[in-house]
Amino acid sequence: MAAIAVAQAASLTSRRVQGPKPSAGAARRVRPVRSAVVDVKSMATEKPWKTHDCRLVLEDGSVWSGRSFGAKGTAVGEVVFNTSLSGYQEILTDPSYAGQFVLFTCPEIGNVGINLEDMESTKAHMGGMLVRHLSLNVSNYRSAMSLPEYLEQQNVIGISEIDTRAITRRLRDTGCLNGVITTDAAKTDDELIAMAKGWTIVGKDMISEVTCTEPYEWQDPTGAEWEFAAEAKASTKGSLHVVAYDFGVKHNIMRRLASYGCRITVVPASMPAAEVMAMEPDGILFSNGPGDPSAVPYAVENAKAILGEVPVFGICMGHQVLGQAFGGETFKLKFGHHGGNHPVRGPTGRVEISSQNHNFAVKPNSLPKEVEVSHINLNDGTCAGMVYREKRAMTIQYHPEASPGPHDSDPCFEDFVHMMKAAKREKAA
Ligand SMILES: NC(=O)CC[C@H](N)C(=O)O
């Protein structure tokens, strides 16, 4: 039986982007690996007690034996479950997952390998990847390497052949649990349980671990072959200057802003508001990002200083930072929203199917009366978006850029552009 014959594509480096991303064309010059033949017989017939070399231990004392893929070692993190049926690469490279392990409820993961274009940042951020079954085959016309190869290169531990349904039910019953993944047989279960119990993401500023170290420009729009929005196709390139606070910004937020005609300057999360305003932005984006929103007062203070100066758009962590800048408070959800099919009702009553990834939320009753809760998550009634009209501020708790998930909320980017254009017209008058 042929063993795995996945050719080594050009290695995906985990360097942080300092300047414009390599053009998509550069990515295509890598010889894609379209499919791999896997040693099915041995993997399918080997008995668990022979192949299980990895444990997931949860803080509730449960121990889950599985098969490792990717990196070896030991990692600790908060376990969340994501119900998306596609887009594991976008999830893997979303900086919002720093400090977390992601359990995929979709039972088959890895079948399309890893390509060089669908990256949401320059590296994988999650601490561990928990799957039911690692696909025995890799087959996709854009695949450049297998998922295990990428995880190994990114130093992320994967564990497969665990009962992801049982763990998901447990998380839904008890709420998020901290966990430890290890391939180190010398560590006792009790040691690992203590490690899981001794760790928490609450109160942690994870943004400082993922933000860029210096400003850079972003030019790449959504590729023409993927563009779906008429308004984006008709937009005038570079007509508006957006400064984006990088709290762990996903690349597709910037691709969508560029597609709607914006020129984007990405800045470190802690850049003082005065320096940002000196860049003469037409609008400011507060991005998605990992960790506890109440642990980044520096971001809230900058948001307060900027509010009312220029139009602002907050996405996910940015929504939570602006919610605090408005005077509101955030709180931690039981197990959060992580998936691609959550219904959200917007201000017109239209229901959008949304892409979600958050464990914290804004308390509606903590907001001042000037702030309108514009979007509601219909699964649990939580605040999914806000508008502060007189400050020209709009926020979305979920991910209008999708990646992965549905593009129902893509018009949010159009709304932000229209808000900036209106402000520009008023200023010129
Ligand atoms: N995707 C995000 O920006 C997540 C925001 C925040 N870390 C949360 O979990 O709620």
Q: Tell me: the pLDDT tens digits for 326-348?
A: 999 999 999 999 999 999 999 99
Is 250 within a domain?
yes
User: Count of domains in the chain?
Assistant: 2
The answer to whether position 128 is within a domain reads yes
Residue 238 shares a structural domain with residue 108: no
Q: Give the count of beta carbons closer than 10 Å to the beta carbon of residue 334.
A: 12
Atom of ligand 1 minimally distant from the CA of 316: 3
pLDDT at res. 307: 98
Residue 375 per-residue DSSP state = E
- At which of 173, 198, 223 does a domain end? 198
What's the mean pLDDT in 117-130? 97
- Give the confidence band of 34 by pLDDT, cuts at 50, 70, 90: low
27 in helix, strand or coil?
helix
Is residue 29 in a domain? no
**For residue 119, what are its two tokens?**
């990256």
Nearest-CA residue for ligand 1 atom 7 is: 290
Verify that 148 and 225 share a domain, yes or no.
Answer: no
Q: Can you tell me the distance from the alpha carbon of 51 to that of 349, in angstroms, rounded to the nearest whole number?
A: 52
Q: Give catalytic residue positions.
A: 316, 399, 401
Q: Answer yes or no: do 294 and 358 share one domain.
A: yes
**Which ligand 1 atom lies nearest to the CA of residue 292?**
7
Q: Decide if 5 is inside a domain.
A: no
Residue 28 has pLDDT above 80, yes or no: no
Joined tokens for residue 133: 């079954």
Q: Are residues 285 and 384 in the same domain?
A: yes
Dist. CA 264–CA 298, nearest whole Å: 22
Strands 138-139 and 35-36: antiparallel
Q: What spacing in Å lies between the alpha carbon of 386 and ligand 1's midpoint?
A: 16
Q: What local confidence, expressed as pLDDT, does residue 45 receive? A: 58
Residue 22: its pLDDT value, please? 39
Q: Give mean pLDDT, residues 100-108.
A: 98
What's the mean pLDDT when you consider all of the chain? 91
Please indicate, yes or no, if residue 12 is contained in any of the structural domains: no
- CA torsion through residues 301, 268, 245, 332, sign: negative
User: Per residue in 299-322, is it b (16+ CB within 10 Å) or e — as a string?
Assistant: bbebbbebbeebbbbbbbbbbbbb
Question: What residues does ligand 1 touch, defined as CB less than 6 Å away?
Answer: 96, 288-291, 293, 316-317, 357-360
For 251-282, how does the pLDDT look when each residue is reduced to its tens digit (9 = 90+)?
999 999 999 999 999 999 999 999 999 999 99
- Same domain assignment for residues 178 and 219: no
Strands 157-160 and 63-70: antiparallel
Q: pTM value?
A: 0.90
* Ligand 1 centroid from CA 261, angstroms: 27
Asked if 158 and 226 sit in the same domain, the reply is no
Rg for the chain, CA atoms, rounded: 22
Question: The domain spanning residue 103 has which CATH number?
Answer: 3.50.30.20
Do 189 and 263 sit in the same domain of this protein? no
Residue type (1 letter), 419: M
User: Do residues 159 and 137 share a domain?
Assistant: yes
Give phi and psi for 153, each to the nearest 5. -65, -35
Task: Establish if 37 belongs to a structural domain.
Answer: no
31 has pLDDT over 60:
no
Same domain, 84 and 122: yes
Task: Give the domain-ending residue among 170, 198, 226.
Answer: 198
User: pLDDT confidence of 62, banded at 50, 70, 90?
Assistant: very high
Half-sphere exposure of 331 (CA within 13 A, CB side): 11
The mean pLDDT value for 224-239 works out to 85
Measured from the Cβ of residue 101, the count of other Cβ atoms closer than 10 Å reads 27
Residues 405, 354 contacting (CB under 8 angstroms): yes
Per-residue model confidence (pLDDT) at position 417: 96
Looking up residue 269, the CATH number of its domain turns out to be 3.40.50.880
Same domain? 118 vs 250: no
**Beta-carbon count within 10 A of 379 CB:** 14
Q: Percent of the chain having pLDDT more than 90?
A: 85
Is the pLDDT at 17 greater than 50? The verdict is no
Do residue 229 and residue 262 come from a single domain? Answer: yes
Contacting residues for 426 by C-beta, under 8 A, at least 6 apart: none
pLDDT at 180 over 60: yes
Q: What is the Å distance from ligand 1's center to 322 Cα?
A: 13
Q: Please write the tens of the pLDDT for every residue from 304-321.
A: 999 999 999 999 999 999
Q: Is residue 31 part of a domain?
A: no
For residue 383, is pLDDT > 90?
A: yes
21 found inside a domain: no
Q: Could you tell me the distance, in angstroms and rounded to a whole number, from the CA of residue 318 to the centre of ligand 1?
A: 9
Q: Model confidence at 51, in pLDDT bands (50, 70, 90)?
A: confident
Q: Domain residues for 246?
A: 207-428
- What is the value of ipTM here, to two decimals? 0.99
* 376 & 305 share domain: yes
Structure tokens at 379: 């699964």
Q: Tell which of 141, 166, 198 closes a domain.
A: 198
